[in-house]
């Protein structure tokens, strides 16, 4: 099946779209990665999202307008990518998270915008959307959904303990090892606090600290770092999830208490806070290897601070496994969409905290009947497809 996976993450910097051919072969999910692209949001949409995110108040009218604007933009991105490759069967769209509702250790709900009808109308493909809520309804966090890809790619129980770390707006990790159930959780902020500070310092002219250059010129303020790390979220046991409702500019200004600090020192402090919180979350698992993805891998100061706190841990980008680091999340949604259309579950309960593994999402039919999308069973007899236990990246892609 030819499918596109799409997401714009909590950094709402760009829509990541990955086109892949997926097929089941016994217990293997075989994938040929065809193309990944990052398409930045138009400034107007980015501005609207930024203006609506908590703690800003918003209205139902704004929510409705943004739902349409994001759906239309996802539709454009998907249409262009699909057309350049002769069309696709299906598209799984995560959309844009506007609110992830967490109370203490439990997730209660989550809201992603990007009305799928616009994507279906523009492309004619079947759309799988709203992929997180079913897991929450089953008692899970609806996150980190990346745990499925990590388990399929690295094996549920590898011979040596390893981790798969995603450094998006929020950092999440999956930990795998011999004799233990896979575990995954949102660690806390990755780029969220750094981006928020840069936006404030530049009056919105810049959205992130390119290459970590700003932080590299400053010195972390130990007392500020300590107060930034002093938060009950970090001590909560997994599974747990969080978002920018929690880790945003307000989180920083509350701890600054109005005191003066240079831009360089503030960014150095936020970068060290991020590296320390990520390292502290991973240390107890004694991993020997960490597979990393996400835009944070391009922040050289963050990566150096992280490596310094995890000596002896070998860090590799997902690119080495054939999955471009910026396209990893889009691949997850391509896989989820594929599994949903086959009626197969796509969550790892020990990772999301759900009572069971669920078939995810809502389906918006495209022009072709849904049944026509499913490849006939290889034997020619109607056979129920089997949930895959391994992912084989037959045709890899690397970051551009
Ligand atoms: N060259 C770079 N230098 C430093 N940080 C970067 C760079 N490129 C991307 N980033 C960071 O990565 C973020 C986007 O990462 P991404 O993985 O897309 O996160 P999300 O999934 O939250 O959208 C940007 O907001 C920025 O903080
Ligand atoms: Mg992004």
- Domains along the sequence of the chain with CATH: 2-140+325-395 (3.30.420.40), 147-321 (3.30.420.40)
SS3 197: helix
Is the CB–ligand 1 distance for residue 239 below 6 Å? no
Residue 187 CA to residue 223 CA, distance in Å, equals 21
Q: With the C-alpha atoms ordered 130, 135, 140, 145, is the resulting torsion angle positive or negative? A: negative
pLDDT at 375: 62
Is the CB–ligand 1 distance for residue 67 below 6 Å? no
Is the CB–ligand 1 distance for residue 214 below 6 Å? no
Is the CB–ligand 1 distance for residue 325 below 6 Å? no
**What residue ranges of the chain have pLDDT lower than 50?**
377-381
CB atoms within 10 A of CB 12: 23
Those residues whose C-beta lies under 8 Å from the C-beta of residue 85, and which sit 6 or more positions away, are: 2, 19, 34, 35
Q: Which atom of ligand 1 is nearest to the CA of 294?
A: 17
Give the Å distance between the CA of 382 and the centre of ligand 2: 40
**Residue nearest (by alpha carbon) to ligand 1 atom 9:** 295
Angle at 77 between CA 189 and CA 67, to 5 degrees: 65
Where in the chain does DSSP place strands (E)?
2-8, 14-25, 28-40, 90-103, 106-113, 126-129, 162-167, 170-176, 183-189, 289-293, 314-317, 362-364, 390-395
pLDDT at 381: 47
Q: Return the closest-CA partner of residue 331 out of 27, 36, 24.
A: 36
Question: pTM here?
Answer: 0.97
Q: What is the pLDDT of residues 18-41, one digit of tens each?
A: 999 999 999 999 999 999 999 999
Q: Return the closest-CA partner of residue 194 out of 7, 8, 51, 11.
A: 11
* Both structure tokens of 211: 């290459």
């Amino acid at each position: 099946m030819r499918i596109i996976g799409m997401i714009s993450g909590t950094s709402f910097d760009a829509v990541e779209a990955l086109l892949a051919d997926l097929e089941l072969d016994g217990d293997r999910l075989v994938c040929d990665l065809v193309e990944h692209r990052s398409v930045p949001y138009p400034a107007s949409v980015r501005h609207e999202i930024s203006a609506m995110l908590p703690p800003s108040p918003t209205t139902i009218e704004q929510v409705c307008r943004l739902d349409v604007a994001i759906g239309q933009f996802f539709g454009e991105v998907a249409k262009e990518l699909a057309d350049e490759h002769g069309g696709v069967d299906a598209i799984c769209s995560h959309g844009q998270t506007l609110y992830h509702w967490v109370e203490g250790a439990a997730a209660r709900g989550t809201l992603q915008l990007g009305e799928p009808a616009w994507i279906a109308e523009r492309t004619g493909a079947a759309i799988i959307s709203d992929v997180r809520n079913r897991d929450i309804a089953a008692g899970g966090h609806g996150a980190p959904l990346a745990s499925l890809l990590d388990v399929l790619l690295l094996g549920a129980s590898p011979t040596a303990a390893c981790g798969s770390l995603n450094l998006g707006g929020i950092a999440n990790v999956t930990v795998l090892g011999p004799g233990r159930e896979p575990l995954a959780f949102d660690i806390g902020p990755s780029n969220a606090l750094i981006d928020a500070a840069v936006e404030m310092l530049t009056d919105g002219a810049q959205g992130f600290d390119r290459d970590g250059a700003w932080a590299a010129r400053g010195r972390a303020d130990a007392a500020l770092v300590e107060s930034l790390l002093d938060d009950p979220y970090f001590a909560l046991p997994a599974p747990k999830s969080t978002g920018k409702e929690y880790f945003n500019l307000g989180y920083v200004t509350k701890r600054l208490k109005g005191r003066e600090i240079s831009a360089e020192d503030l960014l150095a402090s936020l970068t060290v806070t991020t590296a320390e919180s990520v390292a502290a979350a991973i240390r107890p698992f004694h991993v020997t290897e960490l597979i990393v993805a996400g835009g944070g891998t391009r922040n050289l100061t963050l990566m150096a601070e992280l490596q310094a706190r995890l000596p002896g841990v070998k860090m590799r980008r997902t690119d080495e496994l054939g999955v471009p680091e910026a396209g990893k999340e889009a691949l997850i949604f391509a896989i989820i969409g594929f599994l949903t259309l086959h009626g197969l579950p796509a969550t790892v309960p020990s990772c999301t905290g759900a009572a069971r593994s669920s078939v995810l999402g809502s389906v918006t039919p495209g022009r072709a009947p849904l049944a026509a999308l499913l490849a006939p069973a290889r034997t020619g007899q109607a056979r129920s497809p089997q949930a895959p236990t391994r992912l084989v990246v037959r045709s890899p892609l690397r970051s551009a």
